Structure formats: C-alpha cells, structure tokens
C-alpha cells in the first residue's frame, strides 16, 4: 500500500512538471506568430499577443471565436498530447511496480485526474507572471471591464442608467475614459427608431472626447493621458476600395460607434457612458488648447461640413455658397466656409435666426425660403448649397438658387423619400449629391484647421440627468447650437 502511495505522489509530481512545461503559452504564441494570425482583414479581428494554455472543456465554446481557428486547434491538440503522455507514464509505472489490476487502475485514475485538473495549474505561471505594466501595455485579455451608460430601451427614446460589459482591450485598442459627448440629431433618430433599424438597449453618442487610460502593445499614435476623440465609426473591413483609398466612412462593412455589433457579436455602445474601448485607427488626438466641450461637436457636425467643401474643391477663396438649416451642422458650415474665404448665404424657413446668422456667425446674406421675391432675386447665384435639414422638405426652391454646374449637397439623415422635377436639374447641369461625415484623415485635418482659424462650436453643456430634456428640446430645434453632455461631471448611476 505504501508503494502505491509513493507511486501516486511521484506520478502526480511528474505530471505537474510536464504540464507546466508543455502548458506554457509560448508554444502557441510562437506558432501563431509564424502563421501571422494578426489580421487586418474583413472582420477587423486581431488576435491576442499570447494564448494561455487551458483544458479542453474551458475552450470548446469560446476558443475559436476568441482566438481564431488555428490557435484554438493548436491549444486543444496540446491538451490531447498531454493526456496521452499521462496515460503512457501511468502504463509504464504500472509495468515497473506491479502487474496487479488494482494498482493499474489506481495509477490510471491518477492520470485522468491529472489530465483534467493539472492543465489549470499549468496555466498559472503565465497568469502570475503578468505585471501591472504588462497589463497596461497589452490590455487584459482575461479581465472584463464594466461601465455605466445611459441607454434607450425602446422607441420611446427615454434614456436611463444601464450597466454593461466593455469588450476586452486588444493590441491596437485604446481604453478611453469619456469626458464629454455632443448630442447629434442622428442620436434622436436612432433612439426613437426613426430609421427602422434600432437595437436596444442602445447607448447613443458619437461626438466623444475623453482621456486615454490604457493603450495596447501595438498602439503607436497615443499614450496614457492624451485627450482624444471618437466619432461615428469604430471599425471597417480595411480591404475594400474605400478603405484602401482612406475614405473608410464609405466602407459597406463599417462598424458604427453604437447600434452595431463587433465581429464577435458584442454590441457597440456610444459615448453617453463612462468609458469606451476603440481601435486606434478610429481615434484622433484633440489639438492642444482645444477644450473637450468645444472639440466634441467638431467630430460630427464640423466634419460633416468640412468634408464636402474639401472634396468638391471648394476649399478656396471666391466661392459663393449656401447653408440650408442653421443647426449643429449648419452653424459650423457657416464658420468653416467663411474661414475658407467664401461668400456665405444662410437659408432658413423663418426670419428668427437672421440676427444670429449675420452678426454672430458672420454670414453675408440671409434668405427665408418662404420669401418668394427674395428667393427669386438670389436665383442662379450659388456654387453650392450644403443641405443640413434632417426632415422632409422640397428641393426645387433650393435647386433654383444654384448656378450652372452647382451642387446641392445633402447631409441630413431623412427616412422619407425626397422628390424633385428633373427640368430644374437638367437645364442647369446641376447635381444633387450627398456627403457622409468624413475620413479619419479629414478629421485630423479639420481639427487642425479649426485650431488654426480659431473656430469653435457654440454649445450648451448639460449633465446626464438633463439628457432626456435635451432630446426633447433638440426635437423642437430649441438649442443654440449643440448640446454637449458633461459625462465625467455627471452621476451616471442615478
């Protein structure tokens, strides 16, 4: 009996040492590296920098979707080989010490126990060897982070506290503590399901400014403590023509910053929350000296106005342009166009914003769309019109204001079809086109342009507990000109 006990203890010791040796993650990490598992492909998935050894039963459901097929298979094969080693050692031990069935069964039983439980111990050296600096550099692959945001649960659009899990940080990810977030009219459309494709619970917000708290091991653009911004997009395929042309906002497989899903199926959530995890490609540095609450609206409203002016060659002096609608995008359109040297006409449905447009924003002219005489007098006078109106409206009155080859550039999100008669377009070779936010390159360029020209957005800063009232006011166009939520200064759990 004593001999059998000694054999069992000796065998367990051998199994543990073998498990520690073979269970280290280096084998899988080196193999994965040689096969170039890091992917910038269509699903935008990047593999972790190492894969801890785990027993099969811990991997069978989550391994492949988390680590990739090859790495998962390699790990499972490693487990199988270890169990074969256990069985072989048990068999040899039984031959040396006894030919009795009882001893053989006991040693095999020890082997089975070792095969199941000791791989867990084999993974401990990897886990224990991680230092705090290692975790800060490459992100915690095991630890789940939670944050609290304000989410809509249904098409009523009412926002309330919602606690959820953030995705784990990967080598190219940036972990951001949110400072503030602008409120866009698109947020209103989304939380109320105006476009018919909302998923709940939904944390809105895509004009996000925050502080970098942690960066992944492959992040080169940012460091801890940087003030950064996140806009409408947090992912793209990186393989299509728009992606290769650095206009990733037109990628058909782009990932929205909220009301979307990551390739692993986890929903994206926006900036009305305490924190976000974002790929460094979709993060921009906020220029020094620009306050967070001023920078936020530029990431959507400012960019939406800047991008078409740049793309269509209007970023030069002497151009005559029109801005239709004087809201968040419209007021930045006036400022940016004036900074480019344009003669700017604001077009609105009423006369109530005339003084603001001319005296505060610096517009040159102001037209009321219902004033037939004024509209007729301005016919054929504009090179372009940026149409920012996010609700159904006629196009013919504004098309008549364009010169030959003039452009009507649609930027407002409208779920109802727009109509126009073709002669007004044909007889002036006019163009009705659209523009969607801007690229990451244009975002950086726009922020520097605004810093250089001293351009700021006109904002009303509110706490999160006022956000539902702010949405009501936004729906009534009762804001000058952008709400910004002070997220860091709000009690998100209340």
Query: Could you tell me which of 470, 384, 486 has the C-alpha nearest to residue 435?
Result: 384
HEC-encoded secondary structure of the chain:
CHHHHHHHHHHHHHHHHHHHHHHCCHHHHHHHHHCCCCCCCCCCCCCCCCCCCCCHHHHCCCHHHHHCHHHHHHHHHHHHHHHHHHHHHHHHHHHHHCCCHHHHHHHHHHHHHHHHHHHHHHHHHHHHHCCHHHHHHHCCCCCCEEEEEEEECCCCCCEEEEEEEECCCCCCEEEEEEEEEEECHHHHHHHCCCCCCCCCCECCCCCEEEEEEEECCCCCCCCCCCEEEECCEEECCCCCHHHHCCCHHHCCCCEECCCCECCCCCECCCCCECEEEEEHHHEEECCCCCCHHHHHHHHHHHHHHHHHHHHCCCCCCCCEEEEECCCHHHHHHHHHHHHCCCEEEEEECCCCCHHHHHHHCCCCEEEECCCHHHHHHCCCCEEEEEECCCCCCCCHHHHCCEEEEEEEEECCCCCCCCCCCCHHHHCCCCEEEECCCCCHHHHHHHHHHHHHHCCCCCEEEECHHHHHHHHHHHHCCCCCCEEEECCCCCCCCC
pLDDT at 60: 37
Comparing 145-285 with 300-434, is the CATH topology the same?
no
CA distance linking residue 274 with residue 181, whole number of Å:
11
User: Two tokens at 138?
Assistant: 């490459």
Query: Could you tell me which of 139, 285, 298, 125 has the C-alpha nearest to residue 216?
Result: 139
CA distance linking residue 367 with residue 349, whole number of Å:
8
Let me know: does 191 contact 145? Beta carbons within 8 Å: no
**Surface-to-core class of residue 184, CB atoms within 10 Å of its CB (0-12 exposed, 13-18 middle, 19+ buried):** buried
Phi/psi of residue 422, each to 5°? -70, -35
Task: Report the sign of the C-alpha dihedral through residues 287, 289, 291, 294, in that order.
Answer: negative
**CATH assignment, 300-434:** 3.40.50.720
pLDDT at 27: 37
Positions of the chain with pLDDT under 50: 18-74, 97, 100, 120-142
Tracing tokens 């230092």 back to the chain, one arrives at 131
pLDDT at 45: 36
pLDDT at 106: 54
List of residues 6+ apart from 201 with CB closer than 8 A:
151, 152, 153, 162, 164
Strand pairing category for 459-462 and 482-485: parallel
Each domain of the chain, given as residue ranges in start order, spans 2-129, 145-285, 300-434
Superfamily of domain 145-285: Medium-chain alcohol dehydrogenases, catalytic domain (3.90.180.10)
CA distance linking residue 396 with residue 182, whole number of Å:
32
Residues β-bridged to residue 120:
none
pLDDT at 169: 82
User: Two tokens at 38?
Assistant: 């890091």
pLDDT tens-digit profile of 395-446?
A: 999 999 999 999 999 999 888 999 899 999 999 999 999 999 999 999 999 9
CA distance linking residue 189 with residue 185, whole number of Å:
7
Phi/psi of residue 405, each to 5°? 70, 15
CA distance linking residue 246 with residue 219, whole number of Å:
19
């Amino acid at each position: 009996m004593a001999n059998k006990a000694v054999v069992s203890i000796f065998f367990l010791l051998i199994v543990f040492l073998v498990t520690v040796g073979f269970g280290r993650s280096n084998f899988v990490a080196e193999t994965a590296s040689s096969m170039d598992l890091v992917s910038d492909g269509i699903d935008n998935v990047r593999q972790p920098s190492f894969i801890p050894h785990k027993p099969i039963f811990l991997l069978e459901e989550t391994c492949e979707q988390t680590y990739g097929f090859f790495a998962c298979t390699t790990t499972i094969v490693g487990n199988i080989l270890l169990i074969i080693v256990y069985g072989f050692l048990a068999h040899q031990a039984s031959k040396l010490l006894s030919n009795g069935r009882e001893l053989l069964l006991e040693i095999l039983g020890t082997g089975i126990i070792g095969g199941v439980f000791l791989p867990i111990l084999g993974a401990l050296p990897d886990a224990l060897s991680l230092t705090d600096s290692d975790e800060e550099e490459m992100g915690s692959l095991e630890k789940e982070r939670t944050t609290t945001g304000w989410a809509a649960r249904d098409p009523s659009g009412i926002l309330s506290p919602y606690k959820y899990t953030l995705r784990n940080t990967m080598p190219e990810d940036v972990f951001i503590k949110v400072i503030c977030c602008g409120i866009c009219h698109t947020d209103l459309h989304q939380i109320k399901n105006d476009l018919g494709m909302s998923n709940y619970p939904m944390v809105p917000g895509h004009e996000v400014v925050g502080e970098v708290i942690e960066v992944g091991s492959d992040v080169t653009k940012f460091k801890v403590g940087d003030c950064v911004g996140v806009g409408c997009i947090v992912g793209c395929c990186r393989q299509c023509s728009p992606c290769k042309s650095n206009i990733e906002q037109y990628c058909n497989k782009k990932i929205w910053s909220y009301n979307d899903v990551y390739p692993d199926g986890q929903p994206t959530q926006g900036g009305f929350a305490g924190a976000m995890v974002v790929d460094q490609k979709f993060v921009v540095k906020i220029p020094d000296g620009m306050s967070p609450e001023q920078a936020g609206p530029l990431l959507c409203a400012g960019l939406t106005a800047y991008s078409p002016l740049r793309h269509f060659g209007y970023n030069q002096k002497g151009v005559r342009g029109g801005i239709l609608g004087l809201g968040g995008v419209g007021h930045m359109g006036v400022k940016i166009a004036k900074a480019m040297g344009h003669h700017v006409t604001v077009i609105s449905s009423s006369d109530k914003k005339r003084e603001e447009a001319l005296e505060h924003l610096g517009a040159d002219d102001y037209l009321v769309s219902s004033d037939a005489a004024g509209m007729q007098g301005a016919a054929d006078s504009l090179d372009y019109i940026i149409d920012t109106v996010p609700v159904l409206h006629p196009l013919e009155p504004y098309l008549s204001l364009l010169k030959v080859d003039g452009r009507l550039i649609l930027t407002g999100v409208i779920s109802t079809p727009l109509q126009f008669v073709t002669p007004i377009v044909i007889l002036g070779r006019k163009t009705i086109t659209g523009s969607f936010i801007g690229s990451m390159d244009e975002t950086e360029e726009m922020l520097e342009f605004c810093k250089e020209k001293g351009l700021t957005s006109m904002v009303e800063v509110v706490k999160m507990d006022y956000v539902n009232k702010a949405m009501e006011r936004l729906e009534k166009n009762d804001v000058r000109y952008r709400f910004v939520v002070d997220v860091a200064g709000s009690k998100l759990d209340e």
